[in-house]
Chain A
Amino acid sequence: MKILIVDDFSTMRRIIKNLLRDLGFTNTHEADDGLTGLPMLQNGNFDFLITDWNMPGMQGIDLLKAVRADPKLASLPVLMVTAESKREQIVEAAQAGVNGYVVKPFTAGTLKEKIDKIFERVAA
Protein backbone atom coordinates (compact mmCIF):
# COMPACT_ATOMS: atom_id res chain seq x y z
CA MET A 1 0.00 0.00 0.00
CA LYS A 2 1.67 3.19 -1.24
CA ILE A 3 0.38 6.31 0.50
CA LEU A 4 0.98 10.02 -0.21
CA ILE A 5 0.69 12.48 2.68
CA VAL A 6 0.21 16.12 1.62
CA ASP A 7 0.49 18.79 4.33
CA ASP A 8 2.48 22.03 4.49
CA PHE A 9 3.55 21.39 8.10
CA SER A 10 6.34 18.84 8.34
CA THR A 11 5.40 17.98 11.93
CA MET A 12 1.86 17.07 10.89
CA ARG A 13 3.23 14.92 8.05
CA ARG A 14 5.48 13.22 10.57
CA ILE A 15 2.62 12.57 13.00
CA ILE A 16 0.46 11.05 10.25
CA LYS A 17 3.42 9.03 8.99
CA ASN A 18 4.02 7.63 12.49
CA LEU A 19 0.35 6.80 12.99
CA LEU A 20 0.26 5.05 9.61
CA ARG A 21 3.37 3.07 10.52
CA ASP A 22 1.66 1.93 13.73
CA LEU A 23 -1.26 0.82 11.57
CA GLY A 24 1.14 -1.23 9.46
CA PHE A 25 1.51 1.14 6.49
CA THR A 26 5.21 1.76 5.95
CA ASN A 27 5.31 2.82 2.30
CA THR A 28 4.50 6.50 2.83
CA HIS A 29 5.65 9.49 0.80
CA GLU A 30 5.30 13.20 1.52
CA ALA A 31 4.53 16.43 -0.33
CA ASP A 32 4.11 19.92 1.10
CA ASP A 33 1.23 21.09 -1.11
CA GLY A 34 -0.94 20.16 -4.10
CA LEU A 35 1.54 21.53 -6.63
CA THR A 36 4.23 19.07 -5.56
CA GLY A 37 1.73 16.35 -4.64
CA LEU A 38 -0.16 16.13 -7.94
CA PRO A 39 2.84 15.21 -10.17
CA MET A 40 3.88 12.61 -7.58
CA LEU A 41 0.40 11.08 -7.77
CA GLN A 42 0.43 11.16 -11.58
CA ASN A 43 3.74 9.32 -11.80
CA GLY A 44 3.82 7.23 -8.66
CA ASN A 45 1.13 4.49 -8.61
CA PHE A 46 -0.19 5.60 -5.24
CA ASP A 47 -2.99 3.63 -3.58
CA PHE A 48 -4.15 6.25 -1.14
CA LEU A 49 -3.98 10.02 -0.63
CA ILE A 50 -4.16 11.85 2.69
CA THR A 51 -4.28 15.61 2.28
CA ASP A 52 -4.63 18.79 4.30
CA TRP A 53 -6.92 21.56 2.97
CA ASN A 54 -5.28 24.90 3.72
CA MET A 55 -1.87 24.97 2.03
CA PRO A 56 0.09 27.53 0.02
CA GLY A 57 0.44 26.90 -3.71
CA MET A 58 -2.35 24.43 -4.38
CA GLN A 59 -5.02 23.85 -1.76
CA GLY A 60 -6.13 20.37 -0.78
CA ILE A 61 -9.63 20.86 -2.20
CA ASP A 62 -8.13 21.79 -5.58
CA LEU A 63 -5.85 18.77 -5.39
CA LEU A 64 -8.91 16.60 -4.71
CA LYS A 65 -10.73 18.12 -7.71
CA ALA A 66 -7.64 17.64 -9.91
CA VAL A 67 -7.42 13.99 -8.81
CA ARG A 68 -11.09 13.36 -9.60
CA ALA A 69 -10.69 15.10 -12.98
CA ASP A 70 -7.70 12.94 -13.98
CA PRO A 71 -8.94 9.68 -15.55
CA LYS A 72 -5.90 7.79 -14.23
CA LEU A 73 -6.41 9.00 -10.65
CA ALA A 74 -10.19 9.43 -10.51
CA SER A 75 -10.80 6.36 -8.34
CA LEU A 76 -7.95 7.02 -5.89
CA PRO A 77 -9.28 6.98 -2.29
CA VAL A 78 -8.76 10.41 -0.68
CA LEU A 79 -8.90 11.20 3.03
CA MET A 80 -8.91 14.84 4.04
CA VAL A 81 -7.23 15.61 7.37
CA THR A 82 -7.69 19.31 8.07
CA ALA A 83 -8.44 22.05 10.57
CA GLU A 84 -11.11 23.43 8.20
CA SER A 85 -14.33 22.83 10.07
CA LYS A 86 -16.98 24.91 8.30
CA ARG A 87 -20.05 22.91 7.31
CA GLU A 88 -19.99 24.38 3.82
CA GLN A 89 -16.38 23.24 3.39
CA ILE A 90 -17.18 19.70 4.46
CA VAL A 91 -20.12 19.68 2.04
CA GLU A 92 -17.85 21.05 -0.72
CA ALA A 93 -15.29 18.30 -0.07
CA ALA A 94 -18.04 15.66 -0.10
CA GLN A 95 -19.37 17.00 -3.39
CA ALA A 96 -15.86 17.02 -4.84
CA GLY A 97 -15.70 13.30 -4.07
CA VAL A 98 -13.69 12.97 -0.86
CA ASN A 99 -13.79 9.49 0.74
CA GLY A 100 -13.33 10.61 4.33
CA TYR A 101 -12.95 13.80 6.36
CA VAL A 102 -11.03 14.08 9.64
CA VAL A 103 -10.89 17.38 11.54
CA LYS A 104 -7.75 18.38 13.41
CA PRO A 105 -6.97 17.88 16.21
CA PHE A 106 -7.63 14.16 15.77
CA THR A 107 -6.75 10.96 17.59
CA ALA A 108 -4.94 7.88 16.32
CA GLY A 109 -8.23 6.01 16.79
CA THR A 110 -10.17 8.38 14.52
CA LEU A 111 -7.56 8.19 11.78
CA LYS A 112 -7.52 4.39 11.94
CA GLU A 113 -11.33 4.19 11.92
CA LYS A 114 -11.63 6.42 8.85
CA ILE A 115 -8.86 4.62 6.95
CA ASP A 116 -10.39 1.21 7.75
CA LYS A 117 -13.80 2.43 6.64
CA ILE A 118 -12.44 3.76 3.34
CA PHE A 119 -10.71 0.48 2.51
CA GLU A 120 -13.79 -1.52 3.52
CA ARG A 121 -15.83 0.54 1.09
CA VAL A 122 -13.21 0.36 -1.66
CA ALA A 123 -13.00 -3.43 -1.28
CA ALA A 124 -16.79 -3.84 -1.31
Chain B
Amino acid sequence: MSQVQPQTNHQLDLARDIVASLEAGDEQGAANLIVQLAGARDSILFQEVGRITRELHDAMNSFLSDAKFQDMAENQFRDAAERLQFVIETTEQAANTTMDAVETAMPLADKIHDDAERLSQQWERFQSRQLGVEDFRELTAELSDFLQQLQGDTSSLQGKMSDVLMAQGFQDITGQIIKKVITLVQDVEQRLIQLIRISGQNSEKDSVKTDRIAKEMGPAVPGVEHGNVVSGQDDVDDLLSSLGF
Protein backbone atom coordinates (compact mmCIF):
# COMPACT_ATOMS: atom_id res chain seq x y z
CA MET B 1 0.00 0.00 0.00
CA SER B 2 2.89 2.36 0.74
CA GLN B 3 3.76 2.33 -2.98
CA VAL B 4 0.21 2.93 -4.06
CA GLN B 5 -0.48 5.96 -1.86
CA PRO B 6 2.04 8.35 -3.48
CA GLN B 7 1.00 6.94 -6.86
CA THR B 8 -2.61 7.90 -6.12
CA ASN B 9 -1.56 11.39 -5.06
CA HIS B 10 0.46 11.66 -8.25
CA GLN B 11 -2.57 10.61 -10.28
CA LEU B 12 -4.75 13.16 -8.50
CA ASP B 13 -2.23 15.88 -9.31
CA LEU B 14 -2.19 14.81 -12.95
CA ALA B 15 -5.99 14.79 -13.10
CA ARG B 16 -6.16 18.30 -11.65
CA ASP B 17 -3.56 19.45 -14.21
CA ILE B 18 -5.66 17.90 -17.02
CA VAL B 19 -8.75 19.79 -15.86
CA ALA B 20 -6.70 23.02 -15.55
CA SER B 21 -5.22 22.56 -19.05
CA LEU B 22 -8.62 21.87 -20.58
CA GLU B 23 -10.11 24.93 -18.83
CA ALA B 24 -7.23 27.00 -20.13
CA GLY B 25 -7.96 25.66 -23.64
CA ASP B 26 -4.55 23.90 -23.84
CA GLU B 27 -5.72 20.76 -25.64
CA GLN B 28 -2.24 19.57 -26.58
CA GLY B 29 -1.06 19.93 -22.98
CA ALA B 30 -4.14 18.03 -21.73
CA ALA B 31 -3.50 15.23 -24.25
CA ASN B 32 0.09 14.88 -23.04
CA LEU B 33 -1.09 14.74 -19.42
CA ILE B 34 -3.68 12.06 -20.27
CA VAL B 35 -0.92 9.91 -21.81
CA GLN B 36 1.13 10.43 -18.64
CA LEU B 37 -1.83 9.42 -16.48
CA ALA B 38 -2.39 6.24 -18.50
CA GLY B 39 1.34 5.53 -18.29
CA ALA B 40 1.24 5.86 -14.51
CA ARG B 41 -1.67 3.37 -14.41
CA ASP B 42 0.28 0.91 -16.59
CA SER B 43 3.39 1.28 -14.49
CA ILE B 44 1.49 0.32 -11.30
CA LEU B 45 0.20 -2.74 -13.10
CA PHE B 46 3.66 -3.61 -14.40
CA GLN B 47 5.16 -3.11 -10.95
CA GLU B 48 2.55 -5.42 -9.44
CA VAL B 49 3.03 -8.10 -12.12
CA GLY B 50 6.77 -7.75 -11.64
CA ARG B 51 6.47 -8.20 -7.89
CA ILE B 52 4.29 -11.32 -8.20
CA THR B 53 6.59 -12.78 -10.84
CA ARG B 54 9.62 -12.18 -8.63
CA GLU B 55 7.95 -13.78 -5.59
CA LEU B 56 6.81 -16.74 -7.65
CA HIS B 57 10.26 -17.09 -9.14
CA ASP B 58 11.87 -16.94 -5.68
CA ALA B 59 9.39 -19.43 -4.30
CA MET B 60 9.99 -21.81 -7.23
CA ASN B 61 13.72 -21.43 -6.80
CA SER B 62 13.53 -22.13 -3.10
CA PHE B 63 11.42 -25.20 -3.85
CA LEU B 64 13.92 -26.40 -6.42
CA SER B 65 16.95 -25.77 -4.25
CA ASP B 66 15.19 -27.31 -1.27
CA ALA B 67 16.82 -30.73 -1.08
CA LYS B 68 13.90 -32.17 0.84
CA PHE B 69 11.40 -31.13 -1.79
CA GLN B 70 13.55 -32.52 -4.54
CA ASP B 71 13.86 -35.78 -2.67
CA MET B 72 10.08 -35.72 -2.24
CA ALA B 73 9.46 -35.33 -5.95
CA GLU B 74 12.11 -37.82 -7.04
CA ASN B 75 11.89 -40.53 -4.41
CA GLN B 76 9.31 -40.10 -1.73
CA PHE B 77 6.27 -40.06 -3.98
CA ARG B 78 7.26 -43.20 -5.82
CA ASP B 79 8.13 -44.63 -2.45
CA ALA B 80 4.73 -43.65 -1.05
CA ALA B 81 2.93 -45.28 -3.97
CA GLU B 82 4.89 -48.47 -3.40
CA ARG B 83 4.17 -48.33 0.31
CA LEU B 84 0.45 -47.95 -0.28
CA GLN B 85 0.55 -50.77 -2.82
CA PHE B 86 2.17 -52.86 -0.10
CA VAL B 87 -0.67 -51.91 2.26
CA ILE B 88 -3.19 -53.22 -0.29
CA GLU B 89 -1.25 -56.45 -0.71
CA THR B 90 -0.77 -56.94 3.02
CA THR B 91 -4.41 -56.35 3.88
CA GLU B 92 -5.52 -58.58 1.02
CA GLN B 93 -3.21 -61.32 2.23
CA ALA B 94 -4.53 -60.99 5.79
CA ALA B 95 -8.12 -61.13 4.55
CA ASN B 96 -7.36 -64.24 2.53
CA THR B 97 -5.47 -65.94 5.37
CA THR B 98 -8.41 -65.24 7.69
CA MET B 99 -10.94 -66.52 5.19
CA ASP B 100 -8.83 -69.62 4.47
CA ALA B 101 -8.84 -70.38 8.18
CA VAL B 102 -12.58 -69.76 8.51
CA GLU B 103 -13.36 -71.85 5.44
CA THR B 104 -11.39 -74.78 6.92
CA ALA B 105 -12.76 -74.30 10.42
CA MET B 106 -16.44 -74.02 9.47
CA PRO B 107 -16.87 -77.56 8.09
CA LEU B 108 -14.92 -78.92 11.10
CA ALA B 109 -17.26 -77.13 13.49
CA ASP B 110 -20.25 -78.34 11.46
CA LYS B 111 -19.00 -81.92 11.60
CA ILE B 112 -18.43 -81.78 15.37
CA HIS B 113 -21.88 -80.31 15.83
CA ASP B 114 -23.59 -82.96 13.68
CA ASP B 115 -21.70 -85.86 15.32
CA ALA B 116 -22.46 -84.54 18.80
CA GLU B 117 -26.12 -84.14 17.92
CA ARG B 118 -26.36 -87.68 16.56
CA LEU B 119 -24.51 -89.21 19.52
CA SER B 120 -26.52 -87.29 22.07
CA GLN B 121 -29.74 -88.65 20.52
CA GLN B 122 -28.32 -92.16 20.86
CA TRP B 123 -27.23 -91.42 24.41
CA GLU B 124 -30.75 -90.26 25.32
CA ARG B 125 -32.12 -93.50 23.92
CA PHE B 126 -29.62 -95.40 26.07
CA GLN B 127 -30.62 -93.45 29.19
CA SER B 128 -34.28 -94.19 28.61
CA ARG B 129 -33.31 -97.85 28.17
CA GLN B 130 -34.35 -98.02 24.55
CA LEU B 131 -30.99 -99.32 23.38
CA GLY B 132 -30.25 -102.98 22.80
CA VAL B 133 -26.90 -104.56 23.70
CA GLU B 134 -25.70 -104.53 20.10
CA ASP B 135 -26.70 -100.86 19.66
CA PHE B 136 -25.02 -99.98 22.93
CA ARG B 137 -21.79 -101.64 21.83
CA GLU B 138 -21.96 -99.62 18.62
CA LEU B 139 -22.64 -96.44 20.57
CA THR B 140 -19.62 -96.90 22.83
CA ALA B 141 -17.41 -97.50 19.79
CA GLU B 142 -18.78 -94.38 18.13
CA LEU B 143 -18.39 -92.34 21.30
CA SER B 144 -14.82 -93.47 21.62
CA ASP B 145 -14.14 -92.54 17.97
CA PHE B 146 -15.86 -89.20 18.45
CA LEU B 147 -13.83 -88.30 21.53
CA GLN B 148 -10.63 -89.26 19.78
CA GLN B 149 -11.54 -87.25 16.70
CA LEU B 150 -12.69 -84.35 18.85
CA GLN B 151 -9.18 -83.94 20.21
CA GLY B 152 -7.75 -83.74 16.70
CA ASP B 153 -10.52 -81.51 15.37
CA THR B 154 -10.41 -79.05 18.26
CA SER B 155 -6.65 -78.77 18.04
CA SER B 156 -6.91 -77.98 14.32
CA LEU B 157 -9.65 -75.47 15.21
CA GLN B 158 -7.23 -73.94 17.71
CA GLY B 159 -4.62 -73.83 14.96
CA LYS B 160 -7.02 -72.02 12.63
CA MET B 161 -8.00 -69.59 15.39
CA SER B 162 -4.38 -68.75 15.96
CA ASP B 163 -3.93 -68.27 12.16
CA VAL B 164 -6.76 -65.73 12.31
CA LEU B 165 -5.17 -64.04 15.30
CA MET B 166 -1.74 -63.86 13.69
CA ALA B 167 -3.18 -62.53 10.44
CA GLN B 168 -4.30 -59.40 12.31
CA GLY B 169 -0.65 -58.42 12.62
CA PHE B 170 -1.08 -56.49 9.36
CA GLN B 171 -2.76 -53.67 11.27
CA ASP B 172 0.47 -52.70 13.03
CA ILE B 173 2.56 -52.72 9.84
CA THR B 174 0.03 -51.03 7.59
CA GLY B 175 -0.76 -48.48 10.31
CA GLN B 176 2.89 -47.42 10.47
CA ILE B 177 3.18 -47.24 6.69
CA ILE B 178 0.02 -45.19 6.31
CA LYS B 179 1.15 -42.80 9.04
CA LYS B 180 4.37 -42.16 7.10
CA VAL B 181 2.45 -41.45 3.92
CA ILE B 182 0.13 -39.09 5.81
CA THR B 183 3.17 -37.14 7.03
CA LEU B 184 4.46 -36.87 3.48
CA VAL B 185 1.11 -35.73 2.14
CA GLN B 186 0.80 -33.10 4.87
CA ASP B 187 4.30 -31.86 4.11
CA VAL B 188 3.49 -31.49 0.42
CA GLU B 189 0.18 -29.86 1.27
CA GLN B 190 1.96 -27.17 3.32
CA ARG B 191 4.35 -26.41 0.48
CA LEU B 192 1.58 -26.30 -2.08
CA ILE B 193 -0.43 -23.95 0.11
CA GLN B 194 2.55 -21.58 0.13
CA LEU B 195 2.73 -21.74 -3.65
CA ILE B 196 -1.01 -21.20 -4.03
CA ARG B 197 -0.95 -18.19 -1.71
CA ILE B 198 1.67 -16.56 -3.91
CA SER B 199 0.13 -17.40 -7.26
CA GLY B 200 -3.27 -16.05 -6.21
CA GLN B 201 -6.96 -16.78 -6.21
CA ASN B 202 -7.50 -18.80 -9.38
CA SER B 203 -5.56 -21.82 -8.22
CA GLU B 204 -7.57 -21.82 -5.01
CA LYS B 205 -10.77 -22.27 -7.01
CA ASP B 206 -9.19 -25.05 -9.06
CA SER B 207 -8.05 -26.88 -5.96
CA VAL B 208 -11.56 -26.75 -4.53
CA LYS B 209 -12.86 -28.25 -7.75
CA THR B 210 -10.40 -31.17 -7.86
CA ASP B 211 -11.04 -31.69 -4.16
CA ARG B 212 -14.71 -32.18 -4.85
CA ILE B 213 -14.05 -34.65 -7.68
CA ALA B 214 -11.58 -36.65 -5.61
CA LYS B 215 -14.15 -36.92 -2.82
CA GLU B 216 -16.97 -37.90 -5.12
CA MET B 217 -16.46 -41.68 -4.91
CA GLY B 218 -15.38 -44.14 -2.27
CA PRO B 219 -16.20 -44.90 1.31
CA ALA B 220 -17.08 -42.12 3.71
CA VAL B 221 -14.24 -41.54 6.17
CA PRO B 222 -15.14 -40.31 9.67
CA GLY B 223 -14.00 -36.73 10.21
CA VAL B 224 -13.81 -35.95 6.48
CA GLU B 225 -16.54 -33.88 4.86
CA HIS B 226 -18.37 -35.91 2.20
CA GLY B 227 -21.57 -33.96 1.71
CA ASN B 228 -24.95 -35.47 2.37
CA VAL B 229 -24.05 -38.97 3.51
CA VAL B 230 -26.21 -41.59 5.23
CA SER B 231 -25.09 -42.71 8.67
CA GLY B 232 -25.65 -46.44 8.20
CA GLN B 233 -27.93 -49.18 6.89
CA ASP B 234 -30.93 -47.95 8.93
CA ASP B 235 -30.56 -44.55 7.30
CA VAL B 236 -30.42 -46.20 3.85
CA ASP B 237 -33.55 -48.21 4.63
CA ASP B 238 -35.39 -45.07 5.81
CA LEU B 239 -34.40 -43.19 2.67
CA LEU B 240 -35.46 -46.06 0.41
CA SER B 241 -38.78 -46.52 2.21
CA SER B 242 -39.42 -42.79 1.82
CA LEU B 243 -38.97 -43.41 -1.91
CA GLY B 244 -41.62 -46.13 -1.79
CA PHE B 245 -39.42 -49.21 -1.38
Contacts and interface: CB of A to CB of B under 8 A. Distances in A.
Co-complex (A, B) = yes
Given A11-B95, A85-B219, A85-B220, A90 B230 contact: yes
Interface in B181-219: 217-219
Given A11-B96, A85-B229, A86-B227, A94 B245 contact: yes
A103 B96 CA distance: 22
B230 A85 contact: yes
Interface string A1-32: 00000000111001100100000000000000
A103 B226 CA distance: 15
A110 interface: yes
Contacts, number: 58
Contacts of B217: 53-54, 84
B102 A101 contact: no
Given A103-B230, A103-B232, A90 B95 contact: no
Interface residues of B, number: 22
A9 B88 CA distance: 10
Contacts of A86: 226-230
A90 B92 contact: no
A106 interface: yes
A50 B238 CA distance: 21
Closest 5 CB pairs between A and B?
A83-B219, A11-B95, A87-B228, A54-B217, A85-B229
